[in-house]
Each structure stands twice: as C-alpha cells, then as structure tokens.
Amino acid sequence: MTTQSLPNDVNEFDVPQERLPRHIAIIMDGNGRWAQRQGLPRIEGHRRGVKSVRNTVEECARLGIEQLTLYCLSSENWKRPRTELDFLMHLLEQYMIEERSLIMQQNIRVQVIGRRAGVADHALREIDKTIELSRDNTGTCLCLAINYGGRLEIVDAVRDIAGCVQAGQLTPDQIDESVISEHLYTRGMPDPDLMIRTAGEMRISNYLLWQISYAELWVTQKAWPEFGVEDLQHAIRDFAARDRRFGGLNNPA
C-alpha cells in the first residue's frame, strides 16, 4: 500500500497530470445483482462492494485526484427491504470506524452530502467523527452521497434562495448560476469531470443533476463488487483521450 501521490507530470499508465480529472463521481451499481449471480444474499454484494470502495479511494489518493464522490445511498433507496437498509447503515458505521486510520494516513478529507433525516444515529455519529478528524487534511476529498437525490438537492437550494430573497438579502435579478451553485450541498466543490457507472445501466439516476452538466460519462458492464483499480485506470485513460469542448470548438475553422 502506498500513500504517496505520483509525480506532477506523468504516471505509470502514461496520463499526464494535467489530463487527470479533478473530480470523479461514481454510481456504485450492481451489488445485489452480483450477489444473486453468486447464489448469495443481496447484502453480501454490499459487503463485497466495500473492498471496491477501499481500492478506488486508495488509487484516487495515490493519483492525487482532488475529489471522489460516491453514491452510497439514494433518497429512493428507502423503498428497499428494511433488513437491507439496516445492513447498509451498519456498513456505513463499520466503514467509518475501520477505515478511519487509513483515511488519516492517506491525508484524505471526508465530506457527506444529502439529507441527514432517516440516516441511523449510530452511523451519523461515526460519520461526524470522521469528518471532524479529517477536516484539516489536504489530500483527496472523499465525498459520500448518503440519502441523496439530485432533485431534492435542487429543491433545498431553491428554498434557501427563496428565504434569502424574503429576508431581503438577495433580489431575484441577482440569482444566477453561481448563486444556485452556492446553495447546493456541493458548494465549494468542483463539478465532476468524469462520472463512472457500473453494472451497465445507461442512466443518471438522479445523481448530481446540476453538477454533471459537462461531465464525461463512462459505463462498464462490471458490477461494483467486480470494479477494480484497472477499471478505474481504464476510465481515466478514456477520459484523458477525450476532446472536451464545453459547447465550443477547440480548433474553429
């Protein structure tokens, strides 16, 4: 295991540092389906998925990726069986406890986005403890989307902005993209450059709807428990080879 970032100019899979994404967002899909294919209970897929989280976080820290945001629990996931949800809460708590020393060793700063309501108190306690302990770390920001939904985030932002207008702190004419961004859960964070989705699903699933406007999408058929460092590197290579124009032309005629 290494905690040292790569040199500033190039890395061992020949991607110049300036071509690396600043922010990678991942939809970690397919845990339950992977488990069922192995003849295991769905919860075993979530348990195995923790290993993929660990490997991905370590590699992003090693590469010097500025931010990694993982879709851990969506606001729609509460429709799942209670036993599965209780196990997910247990996994969150366990992850925060067991990975805390590694997080500190690798200089990782932890943040969480989403609504706290509904998240188990025992999980919140460990999450808050890790956030506080890591707040002054200067390496990769590990952002966990827990009880998160992109539409809910926008609703909360609109409510905040409406409150500012009502209080006379803001006029309607002053509302622009930057004002909206500053009222999102992700305020102060860079927008994702690369969004990865596992398990072959070709949809966004209410994830970072505002923030991924210009993100490059990369989808693999592998389920999240099968996702490894080589897959992350593959996604980064593909990202680095793309021509990002942001609506313009790099070489206008």
Q: CB of 145 within 8 A of CB of 69?
A: yes
Q: Nearest CA to 188 among 202, 178, 173, 174?
A: 178
To which residue do tokens 């509460």 refer? Answer: 78
Cross-sheet strand order for the sheet of 23-27: 109-113, 141-148, 67-74, 23-27, 194-197, 216-219
- Residues 9, 11, 29, 156: which is the catalytic one? 29
Reading the block at residue 128, the tokens are: 């808050």
Instruction: Please name the helix (run of DSSP H) or strand (run of DSSP E) that holds residue 25, with its range, or none.
Output: strand 23-27
Active site residue 29: yes
- Residues 55, 77, 137, 206: which is the catalytic one? 77
Reading the block at residue 181, the tokens are: 């961004």
For residues 64, 102, 208, 250, the Cα torsion angle rounded to the nearest 10 degrees is 10
Instruction: Please name the helix (run of DSSP H) or strand (run of DSSP E) that holds residue 67, with its range, or none.
Output: strand 67-74
Q: Can you say whether residue 164 is alpha, beta or left, with left for phi > 0 and alpha for psi between -120 and 50 degrees?
A: alpha
Catalytic positions are 29, 77
